[in-house]
Amino acid sequence: MFLRRPWMSPGNICCALVSLFPKIVCTVLALWTLYVFELNIVYYDFIITRHSTFFGLSLGLIAAALSGMCLYLYYMVVISGSGSPLDFEELRIDDISALKRPSYRPENPYSAQDDPRGTSADSENRQNVVVPPEFLKIHTFNTGSNPPGLSVSGNSPTAYRYCVKCSVWKPDRCHHCSSCNRCVLRMDHHCPWFATCIGYYNQKYFIQSIIYVTVYASFLSGMSLSVLWKFFVDEKYTDEYLSLNLVFLFVVSTAIAIAIGIFMSISVYFVFKNRTTIEFQESRWNRTNEGPGGGFQYEFDSSGKQKKLDNIFDLGTMNNWKAVMGPSWTTWVLPIGVTDRYSDDHNGLNFPINEEAYEKWFNNAQLQYRLNQQLAEYKRKVQREREQER
């Protein structure tokens, strides 16, 4: 009887167990490191051996606070979720088959003349495309043939991005996650250690989590190293046994501090640049695998050298940081939410843009369009001349 229920199917049970495994590992690791620190370093070394009760208890409170913050932020990432356009009923597409893709001509993929942030009813009727709600349409870059193909979050030739699997409109910076089997708002990446996607609603908690983990692991590594150093310098090994837990604590905490520290630095750098991991990979991919019209993503300096256009969402280092982490230092340090599923400004559907960078992208798209038109006309002219010669 229970097996007939969808959530009791073998596949769902296996997925639940797989997603539960990293949570158990991270929880046990946080509690074990705290236990070893409090027992071997605080109690045995500082309170019993050195008779520094106050200093030892102070270190114990710091370790407990850092460990607790790491665990709390870990589960806030999981509980908050990344956010999905499926959470907005207005973005669901009742009949996905009604969407017809406009014809895509490789010789003229960017046939746009108007501002891609606007759209006309005439062009929509000509393309016979079902359009998203107005509140999304005015904030989403149109990537189709009319208006111009200024695609900042994909190379789809369709007018507005949508997901066939989820039957939902896809806002800018939204991507479908095959692991979560749903679209994710401003998707950064799918993290196996959280068994969830990192997206718009939980990215702040994720950044705070890896920062606190790096600080906590570095704290444990430094303290355990000092105790081990004193153990060998004072030659205590002649009449005492070395705690293996203390050795393991040093090795594990050092490895975590280095690994997570490197990843944390990269993630914080992306926040400063207002760029997700996916957008960074797409930028690298487009640089080495340019399709038709891909040249509009570049400009040329006075010396004729090719230069990558700026990120259209880059508003400056501090504004980029505040967009993710909140407006003040209290939100940067404390696990306080800064997103709002009901506000037009902080719901993951709308994003402010760099107007200067946008103008460059738009002008390059128009230039690319005119170049494609000229090349197509020249190609037709050559074909006609060859036919006449025959």
Of 355, 378, 375, the residue nearest 293 (C-alpha) = 375
Q: Are 211 and 77 in contact (CB under 8 A)?
A: no
Q: Exposed, middle or buried: residue 313 (CB in 10 Å: 0-12, 13-18, 19+)?
A: buried
Residues 6+ apart with CB under 8 A from 237: 231
DSSP string, 269-311: HHHHHT--HHHHHHHHHHHHS--TTGGGGEEE-TT--EEEPPP
- Local structure of 82: helix, strand or coil: coil
The CB density around residue 223, as the number of other CB atoms within 10 Å, is 23
The Cα 371–Cα 253 span in angstroms is 57
Indicate the residue type of 249: L
Q: How far is CA 151 from CA 17, 26, 63, 341, 366, in A?
A: 39, 39, 47, 25, 13
Annotated catalytic residue 191: yes
Query: Which of 26, 180, 191, 197 is labelled catalytic?
Result: 191
Residue 294 tokens, joined: 């891909």
Of 269, 201, 192, the residue nearest 26 (C-alpha) = 192
| Helix H or strand E encompassing 183 | strand 182-184
Q: How far is CA 347 from CA 185, 257, 304, in A?
A: 9, 33, 42
3-state helix, strand, coil in the chain (%, to 5): 55, 5, 35
DSSP 363: H
Q: How far is CA 308 from CA 284, 286, 366, 371, in A?
A: 11, 11, 17, 19
Q: List the catalytic residues.
A: 191
